[in-house]
Copies of this chain bind each other. A is one copy, B any other.
Amino acid sequence: MILTVTLNTALDITYRVPALRPHASHRVTDVTERPGGKGLNVARVLAALGHEVTVTGFVGGATGRVVRERLTQVADALVPVRGTTRRTVAVVDAGTGDTTQLNEPGPVITPTEWSAFQRAYSELVADADAVALCGSLPPGVPVGAYAGLVRTARAVGIPVLLDTSGEPLRRGVAARPDIIKPNAAELAELTGSHEPLRATQGARRRGAQSVVASLGAEGVIAATPEGRWRATPPARMHGNPTGAGDSVSAGLLSALVEGLTWPDRLARAVALSAATVLAPVAGEFDRAAYEDLLGRVTVTGEATAPEGQSLT
C-alpha cells in the first residue's frame, strides 16, 4: 500500500463560462467537482496505475462530506476536523481557454486535531510501502509538520516523497526525505539558485537524498545518490498542465515501490506528466498517450556521477 497525505484537502470545482469579464454577471454553462489537493491527485493516478492506495489528511464540514463521497478506488483514512474543507474554483473562459483560479483558505486545525492526525499517520505508515507528503499546510498546522512526518516514516524505514514549497519544504528537507519534487520556482526559493543543475545539488546538500526537479515542458532533472539524469518528453505537449506535477510524484513513487531503476522511474514520471497535459479533463492522464510516450522519453545522464560534474 502507498500512503498519500493531503493536509489541505479541497473540493476542486471547475466552472466553464462563455467569457470571463470582471464586474459582470456570468451564467456558468458547465460545473464539475472532484476531490482535490495534491495528495488526493497523486492517489488517483497511483490507483489508475493499479496500486493499492490509502489517503489521509484532514477533512471537515459540508465540503468535506462531498470530498469523501467522491473518493473512489482509494482507501479513505482521512481524519475528521471541526472546520470546513476548502473549495477551489477554476473559472475556464470557453473563448480563450484561460483559467482564473480562486482558492479558499483551509480550515484552522486545532492542536488536538493535529495530534489525532499524527497518531493516525504513525499507524498508517507502519503498513505502507511508501509515503507521499503533498501540498500546502492549512492554518494551525506547525510549519515544521512535514519534517516530523518525514522522520516518522524514516524511523520505520519507509521511503518518503515530499512535495511542498516555502518554509514547510525548507524544514522538511532538513529531515532528509528520500525524494523531493520541486518545480523550478520552488527549487530556486529553497536554494537561492536559479540554475536548476546547481540548485538540485544545493537541495541535496540541505538534506534531500534525491531531488527530482520538474521543469515543465522540458521534463525533469534528477540528482540522486545513484547518479544524475535528465528525462525529456519527445515533444512539447499542448494542453492543460493542471496535475502534471502530481503525475510526476505518482510516477516516481509507483516506480520506486516496483523496484525500477532511476532512469526507468524518471521515464515513467515524464510520460505520465506529459499524458496528463494531453488529457481533456484536468488532472486525469490519457492512458493510451502514456503507454505510447513511455518508450519515447529520452533519459540522459550517468550513474554515480561525482558531485559537480556537468550532465551534458
Contacts and interface: CB of A to CB of B under 8 A. Distances in A.
Interface of A: 15, 17, 20-29, 31, 62, 65-66, 69, 89, 91, 93, 96, 98-105
Contact of A104 (B21, B31, B101): B31
Given A15-B104, A28-B104, A103-B28, A98 B62 contact: no
Nearest to A97: B23
A272 to B, nearest CB: 24
A93 B62 contact: no
A136 to B, nearest CB: 11
B25 A101 contact: yes
26 contacts: A15-B89, A15-B102, A15-B104, A17-B102, A20-B22, A21-B100, A23-B96, A23-B98, A23-B100, A24-B100, A25-B100, A25-B101, A26-B100, A26-B102, A26-B103, A27-B103, A28-B102, A28-B103, A28-B104, A28-B105, A29-B105, A31-B104, A62-B62, A62-B65, A62-B69, A89-B102
A25 B88 CA distance: 10
B66 A25 contact: no
Nearest to A69: B62
A103 B66 CA distance: 20
A236 B27 CA distance: 30
Contacts of A29: 105
Contacts of A91: 102
Copies in the complex: 2
Contacts of A103: 25-28
Contacts of A17: 102
A131 to B, nearest CB: 28
Contacts of A62: 62, 65-66, 69
A180 to B, nearest CB: 22
Given A28-B102, A62-B65, 10 more contacts: A15-B89, A22-B98, A23-B98, A26-B103, A27-B103, A28-B103, A29-B105, A31-B104, A31-B105, A62-B62
A236 B184 CA distance: 54
A62 B69 CA distance: 10
A62 B70 CA distance: 12
Contacts of A23: 93, 96, 98-100
Contacts of A20: 22, 100
Contacts of A104: 15, 28, 31
A152 B96 CA distance: 48
